[in-house]
Amino acid sequence: MFMDAKPEWVEATEPRDARDRFRDEMRAQISPRYSPVLHVAVPALVGLGLIAFAIANLHAVKWWEWLLVPIVYVLSNAVEHRAHKHALHRRTPGLTVLYDRHTPMHHRVFIAKDMSVRDRREWALVLLPWFGIVAIAVLTAPITLALWFTERNLACLFVVTTMGYVLSYEWLHLAYHLPPDGFIGRRALVRALRRHHATHHHPPLMQKWNFNVTVPLWDWVRHTTYPEKLDLD
């Protein structure tokens, strides 16, 4: 799905009608069996299920074990920043499918002044594939297993933090692309983070600025927060 997107970025001067035609083409590739509710619910059930299992296996957590949570959160934020900057905005051997789905498709459909989905079927153009959270759980499984056989509490806290981070990434990203005048879009936190993300969706800025989608911590560390306030109205 979505593999017919242009291989190169279309400049910000692209006429609105041309971008709308492309958007219609991308919508046409969405399966008629696509369910927006399931697209959100399945990863949520997987992530929350793993989090519940991990919490159930915590026992007498020591104070120093809790330190793993902020450490893993910050590392996750750094991985998000690096993956977004490199894998999603540069053609990388073995990861071109991520680039093709993101830069020439997602960034062409949604630009800074036109960020909102037009209906729920367009959630397919925003969210990770439903199996994304499973893939991340599998990729991080060696760390989880190593911690499990070293100190079970650490393994459980690692799972809680990583799965919680993935879910927050998905839910926040979707929130930024919901109508700004809706119940979620009007929340102060969403408005602030949406502006940060919308700035990244301004075509001339997307290759260099505002790569964090969740909390822009690593953008601050790496000095990649765009220093000016855009007129996004």
Provide φ and ψ at 58, rounded to 5°.
-75, 145
Give this prediction's pTM: 0.92
Distance, in Å, from the CA atom of 80 to the CA atom of 74, rounded to the nearest integer, reads 10
Locate the domains of the chain by residue range. 16-28+35-221
Q: For the segment 200-211, what is each residue's pLDDT rounded down to a tens digit?
A: 999 899 999 999
Distance, in Å, from the CA atom of 41 to the CA atom of 35, rounded to the nearest integer, reads 10
Distance, in Å, from the CA atom of 53 to the CA atom of 132, rounded to the nearest integer, reads 19
Instruction: From 102, 167, 152, 127, select the one nearest 37 (Cα to Cα).
Output: 127
Torsion of Cα atoms, 94 then 99 then 104 then 108, to 10°: 160
Distance, in Å, from the CA atom of 91 to the CA atom of 98, rounded to the nearest integer, reads 9
Q: For the segment 28-75, what is each residue's pLDDT rounded down to a tens digit?
A: 999 999 999 999 999 999 999 999 999 999 999 999 999 999 999 999
| Least-confidence region, from 72-81, 105-114, 120-129 | 105-114
